[in-house]
Amino acid sequence: MSSLLVVNGPNLNLLGQRQPQVYGRTTLAEIEQNCIAHGQRLGCEVQCFQSNHEGALIDALHGARGVHDGIVLNAGAYTHSSIALMDAIVSVELPVVELHLSNIHARESFRHKSYIAPVAVGQICGFGAHGYILALDALKAHLDGAK
Ligand code: CA2
């Protein structure tokens, strides 16, 4: 059975509580429960992790090696700034699907740049909380295709 890790970055613990017009009304706890339930439908174990700290996110990526088969990553604003996260993704040699609730390409120009995209399998954005389900489907299909 494949094991998938869903990682959420800074401020995403506030989902559903602030800025619902941008990020929707679904809480992070609900997203994580939906991911675990969808993992069961896919025949995968899903674990979830969130941190507001760049180093903790890097530690979580490092810890995924040998434990999980792939990662869904919403790095939040670190997407647009963190070469360290990009290096961590390369170092773990696991497939990463980049995920954003909002369509980052339709927002401010500073959100158009992603340090994650060049080292990810692909990017899903703009579909709100449902994007996590799409990302898990994409990651599972990628892993099945690599077998
Ligand atoms: O659209 C996404 O998923 C983002 O990764 C969200 C980040 C943003 O910096 C990225 O450009 C796109 C921001 C997450 C902030 O989350 C909040 C949730 C509720 C209330 C306030 C912030």
- Quick one: DSSP state of residue 85? H
Rounded to the nearest whole angstrom, what is the distance from the C-alpha of residue 136 to the centroid of ligand 1?
Answer: 19
| Cβ 12 under 6 angstroms from ligand 1 | yes
| Cβ 18 under 6 angstroms from ligand 1 | yes
Q: Rounded to whole angstroms, how far apart are CA atoms 104 and 37?
A: 27
Angle at 136 between CA 134 and CA 140, to 5 degrees: 120
Rounded to the nearest whole angstrom, what is the distance from the C-alpha of residue 85 to the centroid of ligand 1?
Answer: 17
* Percent with pLDDT over 90 in the chain: 94
What residue has token string 């059975």?
A: 1
117-144: average pLDDT: 98
Write the CATH number of the domain with boundaries 2-146.
3.40.50.9100
Rounded to the nearest whole angstrom, what is the distance from the C-alpha of residue 1 to the centroid of ligand 1?
Answer: 31
Question: What six digits make up the tokens of 2?
Answer: 């494949």
User: Is 132 known to be catalytic?
Assistant: no
Residues 9-50: pLDDT tens digits?
A: 999 999 999 888 989 999 999 999 999 999 999 999 999 999
| Cβ 73 under 6 angstroms from ligand 1 | no
Ordered alpha helix ranges (H), the chain = 20-23, 28-42, 54-64, 83-92, 130-146
Strand 45-50 versus strand 3-8 pairing type: parallel
Predicted pLDDT at 146: 82
Query: Residue 92 pLDDT more than 90?
Result: yes
Residues 48-58: pLDDT tens digits?
A: 999 999 999 99
Predicted pLDDT at 63: 98
User: Is 100 known to be catalytic?
Assistant: yes
Q: Whose CA is nearest to atom 2 of ligand 1?
A: 100
